[in-house]
Amino acid sequence: MCLVDGTVQETKKKEHESFDFRGIVRTVIQRKRLLANIRAALRRSRVVALIGPRQAGKTTAARHIVAADSPNYFDLEDPASLARLAEPMTALAPLNGTVVIDEVQRRPDLFPTLRVLADRQPQRARFLILGSASPELLRQSSESLAGRLETIVLTGFSLEELGANALTRHWRRGGFPPAFLARSDSDSFRWRQQFIQAFLERDLPQLGIIIPATTMLRFWSMLAHYHGNIWNAAELARSLGVSEPTIRRYLDLLTGLFIVRQLAPWYENLKKRQVRSPKVYFRDSGLVHQLLGIRGERDLLAHPKMGASWEGYAIEETLKLVEPEGVYFWATHTGAELDLLVFKDGRRYGIEVKRQDAPQITPSMRTALTDLRLDHLTILYPGRLRYALDERITVVPLSDLGEGAPEVVLPPVLRRRRRPGGVHHVQA
């Protein structure tokens, strides 16, 4: 799918990103990594769950795997599909190949049937189930499909999919396809406003979550001002007039729905007092901008939360690209901190985000390198040149994440090895 002069059109041309001087999408946005991950998961697992918030692109991705008019495709918001699944075993048992069930959380009674069909020998079908990321969906699937289910989380376009030229637009509007592809910033802002309203008034009740929409909107708006900050339940609870356990439940709810990320603190047995509360980020920069009333680039660059927004955007794009085995932030009560501590392939990497023209080494970075025993520290910044500050510190343009190469952020590590006589050399 693409926009040509602002109009959504279908095309069969080679799929890659391209933008003209007005920022209008000229060719197809291809989600190669996502589709490859889905196909690989279907080869490994009998049931694959593609979950994430509405409008993130789950249905479009699934239709690249199975055509919408195929008898193997079921959309549970379509009355015809619901009628076909009135007797689920009768409808699903004869099918071969990949079977897609969209909005599966509307029929939790299907999970036992999927378990029976997934266990058949020989296996005739693999199942790709799509749904809004709800606790109910995860609970049902984990109980009924334990050992059979692989989960993939989808949260909108990544910079890798869009290319480096889209960075400013992507940061400003966020990754939801309708918001990113809107004809203007005003249209994008309006879509995000409608998305939040529909999410609070329709989607949450459909997921069995009964919280007044006005209360949750107030919480979202207050949480936007905490974007990039350490979580303080007591302050938010006082402002909303609810208990701390209630405010914690609201935060956990939005985290489970992939709207918010709680970045856990890392703490070790160091001789320093370390922060032990999580940091809170909205996972989509466009949503936090809408909640803060940021309509365009001028508003964004003048807003006091601009730096926190940039940091959150850089963190999300980094995590999408490198797919780490563990991710944390680190901070001490004396002021030392690290925006992102990433564990990958048995190594420790530090990520710092700086919105500066030419970042330099700080005492905090030196402390993090030593205390956390980092193999490498990468500083992401808005410039264009990549350069080294130290043997283990590299400055990298954030736009380089659009190259789709994880080693841009997590470079090969040089390991030190001692030679006889006290001489050192390095080995890859």
Model confidence pLDDT, tens digit, residues 412-421:
875 544 334 4
Q: Which residue has the tokens 């990949």?
A: 98
Question: In 351-407, where does DSSP find H-type helix?
Answer: 363-371
Q: Return the amino acid letter for 300.
A: L
According to the model, what pLDDT value does residue 38 have? 95
What does the alpha-carbon distance between residue 47 and residue 148 come to, in Å, rounded to a whole number? 6
Q: In what order do the strands lie in the sheet with 347-353?
A: 326-331, 337-344, 347-353, 376-381, 393-397, 387-390
Of all residues in the chain, what percent carry a pLDDT higher than 90?
Answer: 64
Please write the tens of the pLDDT for every residue from 77-88: 899 999 999 999
Q: What's the CATH superfamily of 32-153?
A: P-loop containing nucleotide triphosphate hydrolases (3.40.50.300)
According to the model, what pLDDT value does residue 279 have? 96
Q: What is the mean pLDDT of the chain?
A: 86
Query: Is 289's pLDDT higher than 70?
Result: yes
pTM over 0.75: yes
Class of 159-408 in CATH: mainly alpha
DSSP state of 195: H
Query: Is 13's pLDDT higher than 50?
Result: no
Average pLDDT value for residue range 158-186: 94
According to the model, what pLDDT value does residue 145 have? 79
Q: Which residue has the tokens 């499909």?
A: 145
Please write the tens of the pLDDT for every residue from 357-368: 999 999 999 999
Query: Is 176's pLDDT higher than 50?
Result: yes
Instruction: pLDDT band for 138, please (50, 70, 90 cuts).
Output: low
Average pLDDT value for residue range 389-399: 94
Domain map of the chain by residue range?
Answer: 1-29, 32-153, 159-408
Query: Is 19's pLDDT higher than 80?
Result: no
Task: Tell the burial category of 38 from Cβ atoms under 10 Å away from its Cβ (0-12, 13-18, 19+).
Answer: buried
Could you write out the DSSP letters of every residue in 34-48? HHHHHHHHHHH-SEE
According to the model, what pLDDT value does residue 205 have? 84
Query: Is 347's pLDDT higher than 50?
Result: yes
Average pLDDT value for residue range 222-232: 94
Topology match between the domains 32-153 and 159-408: no
According to the model, what pLDDT value does residue 206 have? 76
Stretch among 70-74, 146-150, 288-292, 423-427 having the lowest mean pLDDT: 423-427
Give me the sign of the Cα torsion angle 260, 155, 193, 300: positive
